[in-house]
Amino acid sequence: MTTIGFVRHGVTAWNKEGRAQGYTDVPLDEEGIEMAERVADRMQQEEWDVIYTSPLIRAKKTAEIIAEKHPSTEFYTDKRLGEIGGGIIEGTTEEERVAKWGASWREQDMGFEPEEVIISRGMSFIEDVKDAHPGKRVLVVSHGGFISRLLNALMPEEEFSKDIGNTSVTVVELQEKKNLCHLFNCMKHLEAREV
């Protein structure tokens, strides 16, 4: 059975400002790079056979930092791992959205990527990974909104928080009958270090 480790990218300036990112290619900030280095140190202690990443720079840079600790590991970029398209709200904060479109902006057509398209591209990626890497350990660096929806599609009987932390690690074992989540949204690598 194939094991997939999901890692959300490090933090960006837009994350801190509460701006919707979606397809917008926002880079990691200094703290985001440090977070990526810390998750890379953690991943170095584990065996991973292949790394896949979203092409968006915040995820790709996080994946590249992890890959530096796994120099012989295969590395691929896959556009299906990109964040959910945020339509016309990308680049805006909640306050700006309310000011521009009113408190009920969520009920309006903002051009979001449709849920069925998100799940379709995510499950297409999972099926390809199962075929290409049976029984392997596959690390996937992606985005919070995308990861949370994919987890709910892979394990519909479970209730997963949609709040996926920056550089958090989630590990799922893909099985024939029922997928198992062994670790969810773990950020122990970000806990304060002894000086």
Catalytic sites, residue numbers = 9, 83
- Helix residue ranges, H only, 3-143: 13-17, 30-44, 57-68, 94-101, 115-132
CA atoms of 27 and 92, how far apart (whole Å) = 16
Picking from 172, 131, 128, the residue whose alpha carbon sits closest to that of residue 153 is: 172
Picking from 128, 113, 117, 185, the residue whose alpha carbon sits closest to that of residue 151 is: 185
Question: Please, are residues 51 and 70 in contact by the beta-carbon 8 Å criterion?
Answer: yes
CA atoms of 48 and 113, how far apart (whole Å) = 31
Question: Please, are residues 19 and 93 in contact by the beta-carbon 8 Å criterion?
Answer: yes
CA atoms of 94 and 106, how far apart (whole Å) = 10
Evaluated on CA atoms 39, 5, 10, 27, the torsion sign reads positive
CA atoms of 189 and 180, how far apart (whole Å) = 22
